[in-house]
Amino acid sequence: MKLKILLFSIVVVHVEAVAEEHSFGARAGMLGLGLEYSYTLSERLAIRGGFNGSSYSFDQTESGIDYEFDIDWQSVSVALDFHPNNGPLRLSVGILKNENSLLSTSKVSENVTVGGTTYKPTDVGTLRGAVGFDTASPLISIGWDWSRENRVGVSFDMGVVSQGPPTVSLLADGGLLDDPMFAADLAAEETELRNSFEDLELLPFIALVLMYRF
């Protein structure tokens, strides 16, 4: 009888240990809303994967031109977590499959300066732009996972993603579509727009996750 109880206890302990190797969470942060999964490799190491997504719009004037920007934050991440003291504190390195982008639209309704030259609305038409980043973007972060000792808990991370220099394309559909001088001014406007978003090359982020371990 005692042997059966001992074997049953060993099985229960083993099942509980295995159950706590997995965690699933709902995530909210500066990279968007998403879900993540984590697998505990050892007391000090875990591997995490997840995806993030969000979109919103805002109006902003760049180089004297009024744009409507649509932000589309879409990414998939994989990270290795290191817990130096076997506790909640973790240091993480990983990589983002980065599809973050910004789309811009400016429906020109009055004279506007493009690349240093003033044009009429009919010359320019509608300006449409796209801002993109490196598809593979490394990330580092520091955080705390308070769910390690419980079935349900929270984790918090703050870090930075290296997205690379932004790439910018700008197109117009007005009457000067094929004019070489206008094309040169449009290229100069692209450069100014690129400079406006160069701060996004290193993108800081924070994230809060509600975790469930099983």
Tokens, residue 89: 């504190």
Q: Which residues of 5-17 are buried (b: 16+ CB within 10 A; e: fewer)?
A: eeeeeeeeeeeee
Mean pLDDT of the chain: 89
DSSP class of residue 177 equals T
Backbone φ/ψ region at 86: left (φ over 0), alpha (ψ -120 to 50), beta? left
Between CA 156 and CA 204 the distance in angstroms is 14
Q: Calculate mean pLDDT across residues 50-68.
A: 91
Instruction: Give the angle 134-138-144 at the CA atoms, nearest 5°.
Output: 140
Confidence of residue 157 (pLDDT cuts 50, 70, 90): very high
Comparing CA positions, the residue from 126, 127, 168, 160 lying closest to residue 143 is 160
Confidence of residue 150 (pLDDT cuts 50, 70, 90): confident
For the CA atoms of the chain, what is the radius of gyration?
Answer: 25
**Tokens of residue 195, six digits:** 């400079």
Q: Which residues of 124-142 are buried (b: 16+ CB within 10 A; e: fewer)?
A: bbebbbebbbbeebebebe
- pLDDT of amino acid 9: 41
User: What's the CATH architecture for 23-213?
Assistant: Beta Barrel (2.40)
Output phi, psi for 84, to 5 deg. Answer: -65, -30
Q: Name the burial class of residue 29, with classes exposed (0-12), middle (13-18) and buried (19+) by CB atoms within 10 angstroms of its CB.
A: middle
DSSP states of 161-174 = EE--SPEEEEEE-S
Domain map of the chain by residue range?
23-213
pTM of full prediction above 0.85: no
Per the DSSP assignment, residues forming a β-bridge with 126 are: 107
pLDDT above 80: residue 127: yes
